[in-house]
């Protein structure tokens, strides 16, 4: 991985050979994305889109611990606690424009994702045309723990996952191994991280992603668990899922029971609807539009502030969810309000 320099900006953007290079450079913060980083990436991608000297774009990240553990949600919540809800809406809006541009980009984008790759990290790497994982990669969308929904276009990725594995991942925020991530459609290749610097150099010189090796297809625990996941999520609604999970044994139903007991009920119920809506077209821009309806309201009308407080600020892990104990019918009305067009 590139060696971080504390005097360099949070995202390094440059040209090397035939490649546009973008390196996330906040390793001490697990390369958490800020609005400024998203805007810088947007500007670079816009400039390179019509530049004939740039044949492809390469994303990587400084440090060994993370490609990106997500967006800098603590900064968003700090602003909201001070009464500024515009800061968060602007951050999500700019981040989602970046996600959509990556998903629709006319040139190859190759993402090398090590360590924690969650939330906003998946919003970059998960929509690239060539998604490369290493032996340390752990992918997840854990937003329901903090009062958010799987966003950055992830509802489209979750909708494409085999069977009902996307519902399981979206509801629980379970971490995917490289094998799970490839099986569920979040990544394409597993390649040794020691080989990455040479591959990046080769890509920059050739401008051709065909130089990438085929890699190997690692085993996936989720593939083996899919029949049980499909049974549990066969019926809609959190109550039905809870009842089905109560009839099963093993780590999968245990993870579901834990999520249902501790994650935000409003966010989980909305997640089910967002994934169902994305199953129709799998369009990332359309998924982003629906997700923004929730995230734009999350601090002011949802449980986002409370979730981030409990999980990331005070770290007491005791969030007081507004919809705790709510029935599916009550949740349905609350979800409809959160997902109504803006």
Strands (E), 76-115: 109-113
d(CA 36, CA 306) in angstroms, rounded, equals 25
Cα 186 to Cα 32, 100, 303: the distances in Å are 19, 16, 27
List average pLDDT for each run of 10 residues in the chain, which is 342 residues long.
64 98 97 97 97 98 97 95 96 98 98 98 98 97 98 98 98 97 97 97 97 88 97 94 96 97 97 96 95 97 96 95 89 96 94
Q: Which two tokens stand for residue 51?
A: 């530049």
d(CA 267, CA 254) in angstroms, rounded, equals 19
The CATH superfamily label for domain 11-140+185-211 reads 2-enoyl-CoA Hydratase; Chain A, domain 1 (3.90.226.10)
pLDDT (0 to 100) of residue 6? 56
Strand order in the sheet with 11-16: 11-16, 19-24, 56-61, 109-113, 130-133, 189-190
Q: What is the pTM of this model?
A: 0.95
- Give first-to-last CA distance, the chain, whole Å: 41
Which H helix or E strand runs over 229? helix 221-232
Residue 142 CB neighbour total at 10 angstroms: 21
Domain spans, the chain: 11-140+185-211, 222-338
pLDDT (0 to 100) of residue 236? 87
Please list the residues that pair with 117 across neighbouring strands.
68, 139
pLDDT (0 to 100) of residue 4? 46
d(CA 259, CA 219) in angstroms, rounded, equals 25
d(CA 316, CA 5) in angstroms, rounded, equals 33
CB 160 within 8 A of CB 169: no
Give how far the C-alpha of residue 6 lies from the chain's centroid of Cα atoms, to the nearest Å. Answer: 26
Which is it for the CA torsion 259, 265, 266, 270, positive or negative?
Answer: positive
CB 170 within 8 A of CB 287: no
Residue 74 CB neighbour total at 10 angstroms: 15
Strand order in the sheet with 66-68: 66-68, 116-118, 138-140
Nearest C-alpha neighbor of 199 from the set 189, 214, 211: 211
């Amino acid at each position: 991985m590139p060696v971080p320099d504390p005097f360099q900006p949070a995202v390094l953007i440059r040209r090397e050979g035939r490649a546009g290079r973008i390196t996330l450079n906040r390793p001490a913060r697990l390369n958490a994305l800020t609005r400024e980083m998203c805007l810088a990436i947007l500007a670079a991608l816009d400039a390179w889109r019509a530049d004939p000297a740039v044949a492809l774009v390469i994303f990587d990240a400084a440090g060994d611990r993370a490609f990106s553990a997500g967006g800098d949600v603590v900064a968003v919540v700090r602003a909201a606690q001070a009464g500024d809800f515009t800061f968060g809406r602007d951050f999500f809006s700019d981040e989602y424009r970046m996600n959509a541009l990556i998903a629709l980009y006319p040139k190859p984008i190759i993402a090398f994702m090590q360590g924690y790759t969650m939330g906003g990290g998946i919003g970059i790497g998960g929509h690239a045309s060539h998604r490369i994982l290493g032996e340390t990669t752990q992918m997840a969308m854990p937003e329901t723990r903090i009062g958010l929904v799987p966003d950055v276009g992830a509802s489209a990725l979750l909708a494409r996952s085999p069977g009902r594995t996307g519902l399981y991942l979206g509801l629980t925020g379970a971490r995917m191994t490289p094998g799970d991530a490839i099986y569920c459609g979040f990544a394409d290749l597993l390649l040794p991280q020691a080989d990455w610097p040479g591959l990046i150099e080769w890509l920059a010189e050739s401008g051709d992603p065909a130089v990438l090796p085929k890699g190997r297809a690692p085993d996936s625990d989720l593939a083996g668990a899919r029949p049980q996941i499909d049974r549990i999520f066969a019926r809609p609604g959190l109550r039905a899922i809870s009842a089905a999970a109560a009839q099963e044994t093993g780590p999968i139903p245990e993870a579901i029971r834990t999520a249902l007991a501790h994650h935000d009920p409003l966010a989980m119920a909305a997640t089910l609807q967002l994934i169902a809506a994305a199953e129709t077209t799998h369009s990332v821009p359309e998924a982003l539009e629906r997700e923004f309806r929730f995230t734009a309201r999350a601090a002011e009308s949802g449980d986002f502030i409370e979730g981030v407080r409990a999980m990331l600020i005070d770290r007491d892990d005791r969030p007081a969810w507004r919809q705790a104990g709510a029935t599916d019918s009550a949740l349905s009305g609350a979800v409809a309000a959160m997902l109504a067009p803006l």
